[in-house]
Amino acid sequence: LAVAGYFGYTLLLAAGEEASGWWSPFRAYLYGPPLMRGAEWWQPTWLAVGTVVCLAAGLPLFLRRDLRITSG
């Protein structure tokens, strides 16, 4: 999944469609070296929003899990 996402984003860059790749987590890395220039405001925000969305999607499934405990 990660390789396909990176490949898709680099194809968008090669085609000159960089604005269409806003969804990619690789954009924060390819936008510029954050360790040399410092992170832009949207780079950690994008990762935090993605984390919250994944947790919100997974929490109901985690709470509904079927745990069968048998004695014996």
pLDDT of residue 58: 94
pLDDT of residue 21: 63
pLDDT of residue 12: 76
Q: Which residues of the chain have pLDDT under 50?
A: none
Q: How many CB atoms lie within 10 A of CB 9?
A: 22
pLDDT of residue 1: 67
Output the pTM of the full model. Answer: 0.54
Please give the angle made by the CA atoms of 25, 31 and 19, to the nearest 5 degrees. Answer: 75
